Structure 1
Amino acid sequence: MLPTSHNTQQVKRINVELVKNTLRSTGVGTKSSIASLTKLSVATCGTILNELLQTGEIIDLGPDESSGGRPASRYQFNADYASVLCLIVRTEGGVHSITHIQANLNGEILDEQTLTLDEITVATVEDLTATLIEQYNNVQAIGIGIPGVAHNGIIGICDVPGLAGQPLGPGLKERFEDVEVIIDNDMNLTVYGLYNEQHFEEEKNFAVVTFPKNHFPGAGFIIDGHPLKGNTHFSGEVSYLPFGVSSEEQHQLLQTSDGLHHLVVKTLVSIMVIINPAAIVITGDTMDPSMLDDLTRGCLDTIPQEHMPELIIQNDTRLEYLTGLIAVTLESLTYRIQLIEKKW
């Protein structure tokens, strides 16, 4: 992204985001405390707080307890001012389903239901979305997780036949003009959910690699806190690593304990030397926590101890998929602008 020159309106939007995010993180604040935390002037904070009160985005809790003088008003972020709608689209074992979730602006889940369907098409998703927007409170963003690839809202390869090759995102945006629309791959969203769960003190490199039964492995990466998708969204296709065997032989190796161990270690070592992650989470129904020590020793045969990331084996990542989708959907509502492009 090129450096951007900022006009008054952009600066104001940045300041509004600062005030809202400060209130969201602190819970309750006064005009003076918010000014101190944001480094904005008290007058600027007062103007922004008054505007947010009028729109209903914050709540006035009344005067603060005071030992003297005029008590200051206390403000709270109104997480229920609006909501986001998230859809998880799945096709597993020939069964088609959509799980729909409503979350408030703090990411707290207000409603969650799963529908089993005969088929899933663009019309299915659009009609369900219309029904839920009518049902839920002030939906400002739609986030959709799919078992496939999406670029600019257009679905590429996808395990849901009725969505493959379809312009799902543009169609939703045309139908719901005032609502943000985000569509992403299930693995990317799971990686983001797992990354946020680590609570790193600063942005790190991070990886998730999955070894599902009867399928080739896949991976997802976070680089300096940002998801890596690649030039053609091919990033993470680790089954294409040069293991020195054909795809058929690789599939056979994955069915045996020794072969699986060999391929997992090769994959982990490759990730370590390329992105040097702080941690790697290994998932999939072929994995078991009891395998961790052997995998660590296998990696240490190649990787020096000081460069070894933390290895974590976690089979069930459904919660992280959901939290990643909610987080990405909420982030689509924030106003972001790059102040300086830092090359090094």
Structure 2
Amino acid sequence: MSDIRLTSQHTKSEMIRCIRSALLEQGSATKVELSHNLQISFPTISKFLKQMEDRGEVTTIGLDESSGGRRAIRYTYRPDYMLGLAIFLEKSETNYTVFNCLGEVIEQGNTHSMLEQDVLHLTTFIENIRNAYPNINAVAIGVPGAVNNGKIFLIPGYENYHNLDLKKHIEEQLSIPTVVENDMNAAVIGYMAQRKIGDNISLFYLYLGQNGPGAGIVINGEIVRGKTFFSGEVSFVPQYDDRNFLQALTNGNGGEMSIVPMEKKVDAISRLVASITSILNPHYIIFGDDEIETLMLHQIAERSATYVPKEHLPELAASDLKHDYLNGLQCLGLSLLISQQIDD
């Protein structure tokens, strides 16, 4: 169980968030257990549980065995009381999932790409899903671009989203709490959550991408965003006399990666692996398994060892990027859900 105790003066919303988290993680709890685990007074726990029960957010599931006194009531959280919506925008399609407070998927699907359309299309799409699921209380959106607190400031090729404060737009238009995240930051969050990777781990998740390469970077369990939220934009990493990483992957002209000979692609990626190893020395470098096959992974490992000593290289692995991406967005959406302040 994660540490969800409150250790200082705390607000009503913080206490409700902790009660929700405890019930969802433990499955059920009594007032005494919640009071002890969260270090919140018994009367305060009782008051909040009564409010949450009255609005249908928690329910009782019976009485505990008596230990000599009055039998304690056991409470559980109703995971479908609030739902979240995760959406990621890509060049070829738009993927989405509706999930409950336990992260269980209610609906999942995909539709046409909306990146080249006006943001109104995305707004209408979200509104239509909310009409089908009125208890959606959080939206998490992933985009193939650099994001600063909900504002997309770099998204090459998609002018309709450039310099758009997408978080503010959705919240103003639909009144739904929203988080907007860079695609690879979301993917690395999902990868770590799925595998329960600890705080002492550092990793680098590389996507070659439909819109050019990008990366999610974690150091000691924390996402690295950088001074201007530009971290991970590895397209610009210089590699050869006249080419950066993107140009090396696309034959210097920004064209399709598929036309570049495999040997040159392996060398470009290996140079990046060597650079990241020398600067960050991470435990893992992760690739999308739809981009890097096992044979290519071995070739990258061998070539990288010609640039840096082999013993310092991280473990190279492949993962399901789409799954990690949606899982990361769900994590962000769940954080919004359990932090919801509901007026009584």
- TM-score, structure 1 normalization: 0.82
Q: Distance in 1 between matches of 2:107 and 2:291?
A: 32
**Partner residue, 2:27:** 27
2:205 to 200, 204, 208: 208
**Partner residue, 1:189:** 186
1:144 to 127, 131, 141: 141
Q: Tell me by how many angstroms 1:120 deviates.
A: 2.6
Verify the 8 A CA contact 1:211 1:284 in the aligned structure 2.
no
**Partner residue, 1:176:** 174
1:320 to 317, 324, 330: 324
Matched residue SS, 1:101: strand
Q: Tell me by how many angstroms 1:24 deviates.
A: 1.0
Q: Could you report, residue by residue, the CA deviation over 1:195-217 in whole angstroms, capped at 9, with x for unpaired residues?
A: 2223123353221012358x753
Counterparts of residues 1-344 of structure 1 (less than 5 Å): 10-66=10-66, 68-92=68-92, 97-116=93-112, 120-158=117-155, 159-177=157-175, 179-212=176-209, 216-247=212-243, 248=247, 251-252=250-251, 255-283=260-288, 285-301=290-306, 303=308, 307-314=312-319, 316-335=320-339
Verify the 8 A CA contact 1:86 1:142 in the aligned structure 2.
yes
Matched residue SS, 1:332: helix
Q: Once superposed, what is the RMSD of the aligned Cα atoms? A: 2.9
Q: Distance in 1 between matches of 2:113 and 2:267?
A: 40
Q: Taking every aligned residue pair, what percent have the same amino acid on both sides?
A: 26
Q: Tell me by how many angstroms 1:192 deviates.
A: 1.5
- Counterpart residue type for residue 282 of structure 2: P
Q: Tell me by how many angstroms 1:218 deviates.
A: 2.5
Q: Which moved more, 1:72-81 or 1:249-258?
A: 249-258
Verify the 8 A CA contact 1:276 1:309 in the aligned structure 2.
yes
Q: Distance in 2 between matches of 1:69 and 1:328?
A: 42
Over 3 Å counting, the alpha-carbon distance change for 1:166 and 1:104 in structure 2 is: same
Q: Could you report, residue by residue, the CA deviation over 1:44-86 in whole angstroms, capped at 9, with x for unpaired residues?
A: 4333322322232221112123364321111112211111122
- Counterpart residue type for residue 131 of structure 2: E
- Counterpart residue type for residue 116 of structure 1: H
Over 3 Å counting, the alpha-carbon distance change for 1:286 and 1:23 in structure 2 is: closer
Q: Distance in 1 between matches of 2:337 and 2:133?
A: 17
Give the paired residue count: 323
Verify the 8 A CA contact 2:101 2:337 in the aligned structure 1.
no
Verify the 8 A CA contact 1:207 1:219 in the aligned structure 2.
yes
Verify the 8 A CA contact 1:212 1:285 in the aligned structure 2.
no
Q: Distance in 2 between matches of 1:208 and 1:246?
A: 26
- TM-score, structure 2 normalization: 0.82
Q: Distance in 1 between matches of 2:237 and 2:89?
A: 29
Q: Which moved more, 1:21-30 or 1:274-283?
A: 274-283
Structure 1 residue runs without a partner (length 5+):
1-5, 337-344
Q: Tell me by how many angstroms 1:325 deviates.
A: 1.0
Q: Could you report, residue by residue, the CA deviation over 1:249-291 in whole angstroms, capped at 9, with x for unpaired residues?
A: 5533972232222222221121122222222102264411123
- Counterpart residue type for residue 319 of structure 1: H
Verify the 8 A CA contact 1:56 1:81 in the aligned structure 2.
yes
Q: Could you report, residue by residue, the CA deviation over 1:215-260 in whole angstroms, capped at 9, with x for unpaired residues?
A: 7532221233332222333222223323223235553397223222
Q: Which moved more, 1:319-328 or 1:203-212?
A: 203-212
Verify the 8 A CA contact 2:198 2:221 in the aligned structure 1.
no
Matched residue SS, 1:207: strand
- Counterpart residue type for residue 178 of structure 2: V
Q: Distance in 2 between matches of 1:257 and 1:115?
A: 32
Over 3 Å counting, the alpha-carbon distance change for 1:171 and 1:286 in structure 2 is: closer
Matched residue SS, 1:232: coil
Q: Tell me by how many angstroms 1:20 deviates.
A: 1.7
- Counterpart residue type for residue 275 of structure 2: S
Over 3 Å counting, the alpha-carbon distance change for 1:124 and 1:161 in structure 2 is: same
Q: Which moved more, 1:133-142 or 1:297-306?
A: 297-306
Matched residue SS, 1:323: helix
